């Protein structure tokens, strides 16, 4: 069996892995895991990833979780263009610098609007307004850091070429964009950065990867999203409870 990628394109890290593999012509078998239907909680998926999360890479008997680890593995194994994960020590350190900050300040923050507007209401839960306001403040602060600390006067987040950092950041920012947050309004440098990244990745590939997430709010309004099975409610409720 060749390379298998267990993904769901509602997931920001899954989209990053999907786009990277597609952009670099890496052959893989797509295994879609429907997280709304709770397939990630199944016994079968537990055997693949006991953390019960996507994305997951399966390369023969080798199984790898966590999107940044997967992207680095793919970059090294398939010897993709050096700009993605630079061989230069300091340039590579810049990528890791961003990825470390991303895990602390971006992940868990930019996904909250989707829980507020789509996933919470899907199971009949409204996120308290004070949490929504705190999240808006956290997003604004993170965008300032992203723009001033990491982008600065550069073309991309870790230098003058696209890296894994840009891909990870773009996909995370698409999550609130999909539910109507105007993240780039009044931020011309970040808006120009987004345009450069999407142009490099290819507009059609981005449209393909983003089509599901961009249709989610409309589907929620029309009540055409599937209702999660009861067994995933506790996990969803816990995630909502953990919103600061």
Within this chain, do residues 53 and 99 fall inside the same structural domain, yes or no?
Answer: no
Distance CA 96, CA 100 (A): 6
pLDDT by 10-residue block (mean), the chain, 244 residues: 94 98 98 94 93 96 97 99 98 98 96 96 96 98 97 97 99 97 96 98 97 92 90 93 96
Select from 216, 206, 146 the least CA-distant residue to 180. 216
Within this chain, do residues 99 and 129 fall inside the same structural domain, yes or no?
Answer: yes
- Total structural domains in the chain? 2
Q: Is 5 helix (H, G, I), strand (E, B) or coil?
A: strand
DSSP 78-107: TT--TTTS-SSHHHHHHHHHHHHHIIIIIT
Within this chain, do residues 162 and 182 fall inside the same structural domain, yes or no?
Answer: yes
Question: What's the pLDDT at 217?
Answer: 86
Rounded to the nearest 5°, which phi and psi values hold at 45? -70, -30
Q: Check the CA dihedral 89-94-95-98 and report its sign.
A: positive
Q: Is 36 helix (H, G, I), strand (E, B) or coil?
A: coil
CATH number for 191: 1.20.1050.10
Within this chain, do residues 101 and 161 fall inside the same structural domain, yes or no?
Answer: yes
């Amino acid at each position: 069996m060749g390379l298998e990628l267990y993904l769901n394109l509602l997931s920001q890290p899954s989209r990053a892995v999907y786009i990277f593999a597609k952009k670099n012509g890496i052959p893989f078998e797509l295994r879609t895991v429907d997280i709304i239907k709770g397939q990630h909680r199944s016994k079968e998926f537990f055997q693949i990833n006991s953390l019960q999360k996507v994305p997951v890479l399966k390369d023969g008997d080798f199984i790898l979780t966590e999107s940044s680890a997967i992207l680095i593995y793919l970059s090294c194994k398939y010897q993709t263009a050096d700009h993605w994960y630079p061989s230069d020590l300091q340039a590579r350190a810049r990528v890791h610098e961003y990825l470390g900050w991303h895990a602390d300040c971006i992940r868990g923050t930019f996904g909250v609007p989707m829980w507020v507007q789509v996933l919470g209401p899907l199971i009949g839960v409204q996120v308290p307004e004070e949490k929504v306001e705190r999240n808006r403040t956290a997003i604004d602060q993170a965008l300032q850091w992203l723009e001033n600390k990491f982008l600065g006067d550069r073309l991309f987040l870790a230098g003058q070429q696209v890296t894994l950092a840009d891909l990870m950041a773009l996909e995370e920012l698409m999550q609130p964009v999909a539910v109507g947050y105007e993240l780039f309004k009044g931020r011309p440098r970040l808006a120009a950065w987004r345009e450069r990244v999407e142009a490099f990745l290819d507009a059609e590939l981005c449209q393909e990867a983003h089509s599901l997430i961009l249709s989610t709010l409309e589907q929620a309004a029309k009540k055409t999203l599937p209702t999660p099975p009861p067994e995933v409610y506790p996990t969803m409720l816990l995630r909502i409870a953990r919103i600061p």
